[in-house]
Amino acid sequence: MALPVFLLLCFLLSIVVIFILIRASRRRLLRLPPGNLGLPFVGETLQLISAYKTENPEPFIDERVSRFGPLFTTHVFGEPTVFSADPEVNRFILQNEGKLFDCSYPGSISNLLGKHSLLLMKGSLHKRMHSLTMSFGNSSIIKDHLLVDIDRLIRLNLDSWSDRVLLMEEAKTITFNLTVKQLMSYDPCEWTERLRKEYVLVIEGFFTLPSRLFSPTYSRAITARTKVAEALNLVVRRRRKEAVAISEGGGEKQNDMLAALLADDDGFSDEQIVDFLLALLVAGYETTSTIMTLAVKFLTETPLALAQLKEEHEGIRAKKSNNTEALEWSDYKSMPFTQCVINETLRVANIIGGIFRRAITNVPVKGYTIPKGWQVFASFRAVHLNLDHYKDARSFNPWRWQNKPVPTISGNVFMPFGGGPRLCPGYEIARVILSVFLHRIVTRYSWVPAEEDKLVFFPTTRTQKRYPIKVRRLNCDQAM
Ligand code: HEM
């Protein structure tokens, strides 16, 4: 071997050895949780992606938990990461948002959301905006105001179904239309549909390289984001003018989120409001529509549960004079088995499998240290599917929730909506949407899967073919 090649090989080898030694000594000094950082730069990203692209991603976590325990170190998406499958640690991470940890999103997501989005806000502004959003989704607002629209818009969508339906697409249209209605009082129309099409392109950009040069999807997403922001900006400007007219005694006040933002004493800029609206559209869209689709999928695969759910909803429908009579709050409150189905769907296949945070300082936890600047991932999924917490944890069994109080937001082992200062402000609305949707679908249609369709979990939880079903209207509609 020529001398220069030999020297080059020695040089490269010493760099690798130094790299491994530095990593090992750093780990000893800081008492990092045990684990494996994998290959330089890529870490264990490829193993994670290939596991989550299958129907059964659990081995990725199971193997590491059995080797290292529920708190382990890995290296994913370009960063060393402490991974928690421990319910107490997960709660600790969520509760210490802003004190020991900050939220952290990949560059593609934060660029597309905009700097004023609730998901990226920090500190006192986040606290204020979070509570404003929570107050807009609480049960009395849903009861007095939103439930009617939720029921009406779900019925409107279901009315258009015939023969073959891509359930995931319909569920997305429903949730988008509901959020637009809740935010700025628009009913579905050509404008909302145009907005939705652009907005879908924005979401596609979330899971790509944040570079206009190297990723056409990202480039398209940025262009679409500009168009969505322009459209929302026009609405905000018009509503601002109307708000002035209303304060001078002309016109009728709208009862929506935009009105609350425009009336806020501190006064938000148009840009702040647009970013805020856009983020709310994002937060409720994929999440709620995926759970709607998966609830139907799991029920289809569990005929006994579907039969029991139908019975519950037939009982509610039988009290109505016809099939179009609106659902009331008391109806929603008399759906105990439906709540079991929703909990179980959220447990088995929550679209938000966990949350990323970044340590602001060295954080001691369970005898280890999470180093300052490191990424942490609190995995809800690992807890939800842990056999120590749930018997036969990996099967869909809605009966496990029967005769138990509806899980409160304080439980450590059931956290589909997160917790702490960033607890999902849409958790109650999401439950109502899911319940009304299940009511309307089981009382109006019977269905069978049109094709075999598989669940995958990367880049998001979804079925590969958007869950196509063949639907048949039930006889009760013919009387209408
Ligand atoms: C089944 C449906 C849903 C699930 C499973 C879900 C889950 C979650 C989770 C786990 C978080 C916490 C994220 C974190 O800690 O970083 C979150 C945050 C959030 N969710 Fe939801 N969500 C759902 C529906 C909705 C809906 C319908 C809305 C609004 C209409 C909404 C609005 C938000 C917002 C704005 C945040 C950010 C809160 C913040 O950062 O302060 N979500 N959601």
Question: Which superfamily is assigned to 80-473 in CATH?
Answer: Cytochrome P450 (1.10.630.10)
The finding on whether 417 has its CB within 6 A of some atom of ligand 1 is: yes
Task: Tell me which residue of 380, 371, 461, 418 sits closest to 81, measured CA to CA.
Answer: 371
Task: Tell me which residue of 285, 236, 287 sits closest to 264, measured CA to CA.
Answer: 236
The finding on whether 290 has its CB within 6 A of some atom of ligand 1 is: no
What string of H, E and C letters represents the secondary structure of the chain? CCHHHHHHHHHHHHHHHHHHHHHHHHHHHHCCCCECCCECCCECHHHHHHHHCCCCCHHHHHHHHHHHCCEEEEEECCEEEEEECCHHHHHHHHHCECCCEEECCCHHHHHHHCCCCCCCCCHHHHHHHHHHHHHCCCHHHHHHHHHHHHHHHHHHHHHCCCCEEEHHHHHHHHHHHHHHHHHHCCCCCHHHHHHHHHHHHHHHHHHCCCCCCCCHHHHHHHHHHHHHHHHHHHHHHHHHHHHHHHHCCCCCCCCCHHHHHHHCCCCCCHHHHHHHHHHHHHHHHHHHHHHHHHHHHHHHHCHHHHHHHHHHHHHHHHCCCCCCCCCCHHHHCCCHHHHHHHHHHHHHHCCCCEEEEEECCCEEECCEEECCCCEEEEEHHHHHCCCCCCCCCCCCCHHHHCCCCCCCCCCCCCCCCCCHHHCCCCHHHHHHHHHHHHHHHHHHEEEEECCCCCEECCCCCEECCCCEEEEEECHHHHHC
Quickly tell me which residue has 């026009």 as its tokens.
234
The finding on whether 348 has its CB within 6 A of some atom of ligand 1 is: no
Cα dihedral across residues 429, 433, 439, 442: positive or negative: negative
**Exposure of 76 in the CB half-sphere (CA atoms within 13 A):** 22
User: What pLDDT score does 24 carry?
Assistant: 60
Residues 6+ apart with CB under 8 A from 51: 57, 59, 60
Rounded to the nearest angstrom, the distance between the alpha carbon of 398 and the centre of ligand 1 is 23
**Exposure of 246 in the CB half-sphere (CA atoms within 13 A):** 14
Atom 2, ligand 1: which residue's CA is nearest?
A: 288
* Mutual angle of helices 303-318 and 427-444, in 10-degree steps: 90
Measured CA to CA, the distance from residue 235 to residue 113 in angstroms comes to: 18
User: What pLDDT score does 409 carry?
Assistant: 46
Rounded to the nearest angstrom, the distance between the alpha carbon of 325 and the centre of ligand 1 is 30
The finding on whether 461 has its CB within 6 A of some atom of ligand 1 is: no
The finding on whether 180 has its CB within 6 A of some atom of ligand 1 is: no
Which ligand 1 atom sits closest to the C-alpha of 126?
Answer: 41
The finding on whether 154 has its CB within 6 A of some atom of ligand 1 is: no
Atom 40, ligand 1: which residue's CA is nearest?
A: 119
- pLDDT tens for 308-364 read 999 999 999 999 988 789 999 999 999 999 999 999 999 998 789 999 999 999 999
* Mutual angle of helices 427-444 and 270-301, in 10-degree steps: 40
**Per-residue tokens: 8:** 């080059």
CA 295 to chain centre: 15
Measured CA to CA, the distance from residue 102 to residue 72 in angstroms comes to: 20
Ligand 1 pocket test, pick from 127, 287, 434 with the greatest ligand atom count within 8 Å of Cβ, gives 287
**Average predicted confidence (pLDDT) for the chain:** 90
User: What pLDDT score does 85 carry?
Assistant: 96
User: What pLDDT score does 288 carry?
Assistant: 96
Which ligand 1 atom sits closest to the C-alpha of 175?
Answer: 27
Rounded to the nearest angstrom, the distance between the alpha carbon of 283 and the centre of ligand 1 is 5
The finding on whether 296 has its CB within 6 A of some atom of ligand 1 is: no
The finding on whether 288 has its CB within 6 A of some atom of ligand 1 is: yes
Rounded to the nearest angstrom, the distance between the alpha carbon of 417 and the centre of ligand 1 is 6
pLDDT tens per residue across all 480 residues of the chain:
566 777 777 777 777 666 666 666 665 667 999 999 888 878 898 888 888 888 889 899 999 999 999 999 999 888 899 999 999 999 999 999 999 999 988 778 888 998 899 999 999 999 999 999 998 888 999 998 899 999 999 999 999 999 999 999 999 999 999 999 999 999 999 999 999 999 999 998 988 888 888 889 999 999 999 999 999 999 999 999 998 888 777 777 788 999 989 988 778 899 999 999 999 998 989 899 999 999 999 999 999 999 999 999 999 999 998 878 999 999 999 999 999 999 999 999 878 999 999 999 999 999 999 999 999 999 999 999 999 999 999 999 999 999 776 555 457 899 999 999 999 999 999 999 999 999 999 999 999 999 999 998 888 888 999 999 999 999 764 433
- pLDDT tens for 154-186 read 999 999 999 999 999 999 999 999 999 999 999
Rounded to the nearest angstrom, the distance between the alpha carbon of 288 and the centre of ligand 1 is 9
User: What pLDDT score does 3 carry?
Assistant: 66
Q: Is 148 exposed, middle or buried (0-12, 13-18, 19+ CB in 10 A)?
A: middle
Rounded to the nearest angstrom, the distance between the alpha carbon of 149 and the centre of ligand 1 is 20
| From-to residues of CATH 1.10.630.10 in the chain | 80-473
The finding on whether 174 has its CB within 6 A of some atom of ligand 1 is: no
The finding on whether 280 has its CB within 6 A of some atom of ligand 1 is: yes
Q: Rounded to 5 degrees, what are φ and ψ at 248?
A: -95, 10
Which ligand 1 atom sits closest to the C-alpha of 94?
Answer: 15
**Per-residue tokens: 316:** 């509610």
Measured CA to CA, the distance from residue 437 to residue 45 in angstroms comes to: 37
Amino acid, single-letter form, for residue 227: K
Which ligand 1 atom sits closest to the C-alpha of 350?
Answer: 5
